[in-house]
Amino acid sequence: MPIYILTGFMKRIPLALEEQARVDGAGDLRIFLRIVLPLCKPALGTCAVFGFLMIWDQYLLPLLVIQTPSMNPLTVVVTSLQSSQELGDGVRLAAAAILMVPSVLL
């Protein structure tokens, strides 16, 4: 039984590909690195993008856990700018645009 069969998105890779590689003399590691992993790159990329966005957009956990204002992430800093009456709308919009840049680039 192949090692990678237990993971979710790798279940749909046909076993015929593994059997053909075994006939050619490939071991488990070579099958994983040369056949399975390249076929899973789109799924792994999607998981990476959603994982990054989930971590980048966190607001409540840093707000509750971090006590030092200088350690706050950008999401908390931008929302704290909303309560400041001294700053103009341009500064708030610029901060929101800066916060969006990594998500858009990814």
Q: Do 78 and 90 sit in the same domain of this protein?
A: yes
Domain shared by 41 and 70, yes or no: no
Distance of alpha carbon 66 from alpha carbon 62, whole angstroms: 5
Phi then psi for residue 94, to 5 deg, are: -65, -40
Cα 21 from Cα 31, distance rounded (Å): 7
Is the domain of 68 the same as that of 30? no
More confident residue, 12 or 19: 19
50-88 pLDDT, tens per residue? 888 888 888 888 888 888 888 888 888 887 777 777 777
Q: Both 43 and 70 in a single domain?
A: no
Residue 81: give the domain boundaries.
Answer: 58-105
- Please check whether residues 62 and 101 belong to one and the same domain: yes
The answer to whether 76 and 59 are in contact (CB under 8 A) is: yes
Do 81 and 47 lie in one domain? The reply is no
Structurally, the chain folds into a number of domains equal to 2
Q: Do 95 and 77 meet the contact criterion of CB atoms below 8 Å apart?
A: yes
Reported as a single tens digit per residue, the pLDDT across 20-34 is 888 999 888 998 889
